[in-house]
Chain A
Amino acid sequence: MSIKLTLPLKKEDIKCLRAGDSVELSGTLYTARDAAHKRFYDMVKNGENLPINVENETIYYVGPAPAKEGAVIGPCGPTSSYRMDKYTPMLLDMGLSAMIGKGERSDEVIEAIKRNGAVYFAAIGGAAALISKSVVKDEAVCFEDLGTESVHKYTVKDFPCIVAIDSLGNDVYKR
């Protein structure tokens, strides 16, 4: 059975999740992948404010295909998360509470997840057409010049994921 959760997540909800749990996420999240993460990282290093407040928010690692006329969004499955590892501990220390992607994370990311009581979800790689049915609203937020890599805000309903790394650092990929 899937655990139904509302985004942004509450700290007490995160604490109850365990690696391997099936969840369905509803609510709002931000999208960002390689290029947007690099910008976030460079901005913080330069002492600038980020265009979004990541505190308590969820970031989904995705670069969607274009939407057909009349569709809310194009196919939008997860991309490999390890490429964001360099930038992730900083975002977690700034209050980011959840990430959605696919595949393993570095030890540094796992430590930062534990330190901040965060959670990492895996969506099913290559199930992009199916996942697009869970997105009910798509709004552009920033870095529009990055095209598919720009930051958007999605409203999702019953987005199916698996808890990949829980707040205690249990990792579904290391079983």
Chain B
Amino acid sequence: MREIKALDIKNAVKALFISLNCEIGDDITEKLSNALEIEESETAKAVLSQLLKNNEIARKEQIPLCQDTGMAILFVEYGDKLIVDGDFNEAVNQGVREAYTDGYLRKSVVDDPVFDRKNTNDNTPAVIHTKIVPGETLKITAGAKGFGSENMSKIKMLSPSASVEGVKDFVLETVRTAGPNPCPPIVVGVGIGGTFEQSAQLAKKATFRSVDSKNDDERYASLESELLDEINKMGIGPAGLGGKTTALKVNIEYAPTHIASIPVAVNICCHACRHKSIEL
């Protein structure tokens, strides 16, 4: 067994959230730069230039690139030969608390969704998805999710007879309905299969994958590129003001499902697709 300090987890989580909110990944920067090359409309070019400039300012001045510094989401792979010398969930939440307070990040969480809607003032609680894996390593993938795009996400339980066409239609309809609202160019995370909640979790996980990656299964990889082409034909464009770049990438994650269903979840992420990983 390997012991890991709760303090080290807290510090790692704090550093991750400050850094990912101020520094966009190189994969996104490259896609935005490529989009600038292919856009023809002056407005689309102007928007993309402003986004690239914005991200440079944020990185240089170490300020958040978007004011919506999101809800804190963590995918944790927890080695089964690992012992924490304290409360794991509390260490993570304390890391989030300190990041959002000391890092000048916006606190955007309310304590109950319907009645009081009182701000918790420290952006906790974080959403923590933990998976026990073999080994003695702790891998944390952290992300900040803005709700302009989260609000545009959808889930649907399709019949098996809907087949791949039904999946495509639902993804495209979701992106078309979202239009300019989720701050395009977007990253589209699609979760297919599993149960109702598992598909949603897969869709979120898909948005945490690099926009350089593709699904390991060739069939899903080609579905990713086919959907991306279709989405970019919609003409929604950067900031929804028209253009060729509505999405930077479609990432699909899938899981085995029931004989009676094809669950499909579409989680839309804005161009500020912020996530980072660390291994402890």
Contact = CB atoms under 8 A, between A and B. Distances in A.
A72 interface: no
Contacts of A116: none
A126 B69 contact: no
Contacts of A35: 117
A88 B239 CA distance: 22
Contacts of A74: 63-64, 67, 104, 106
Contact of B239 (A71, A125, A131, A133): A125
Most B CB within 10 A of own CB, among A62, A68, A127, A160: A127
Interface in A56-97: 62-68, 71, 74-77, 79-80, 82
Interface string B44-88: 001100110111011001011111110000000000000000000
A9 interface: no
Contacts of B53: 130
Contacts of A63: 67-68, 106, 108
A34 to B, nearest CB: 9
Contact of B68 (A79, A129, A131, A172): A79
Interface residues of A, number: 39
B31 to A, nearest CB: 14
B67 A65 contact: yes
B106 A126 contact: no
A129 to B, nearest CB: 4
B244 to A, nearest CB: 15
27 contacts: A20-B241, A22-B46, A35-B117, A63-B108, A65-B69, A68-B104, A74-B63, A74-B64, A75-B66, A76-B67, A77-B66, A80-B148, A80-B181, A82-B181, A102-B183, A104-B240, A122-B180, A125-B270, A126-B51, A128-B67, A129-B54, A147-B121, A148-B106, A160-B50, A162-B43, A162-B239, A173-B241
A45 interface: no
A65 B183 contact: no
B114 to A, nearest CB: 13
Contacts of B55: 129
Main SS of chain B's interface residues?
Answer: loop
A130 B56 CA distance: 9
Interface of B: 43, 46-47, 50-51, 53-55, 57-58, 61, 63-69, 104-108, 117, 119, 121, 148, 151, 179-181, 183, 239-242, 270-272
B54 A128 contact: yes
A122 to B, nearest CB: 7
Contacts of A80: 148, 151, 181
Contacts of B104: 65-68, 74
A17 interface: no
Contacts of A129: 54-55, 57-58, 61, 63-65
Kindly list the 3 A-B residue pairs having the minimum CB-CB distance in the complex, ordered from nearest: A125-B183, A130-B54, A103-B181
A20 to B, nearest CB: 7
Nearest to B185: A126
Contacts of B151: 80
Contacts of A172: 241
B105 A79 contact: no
B64 A65 contact: yes
A135 to B, nearest CB: 12
A103 B180 contact: yes
A20 B64 contact: no
A68 B270 CA distance: 25
Interface string A111-144: 0000000000010111111111100000000000
B148 A122 contact: no
A76 B181 CA distance: 17
Given A63-B67, A127-B50, 14 more contacts: A64-B106, A75-B67, A80-B148, A80-B181, A103-B179, A104-B180, A104-B240, A122-B239, A122-B240, A126-B183, A128-B54, A129-B61, A147-B121, A162-B43
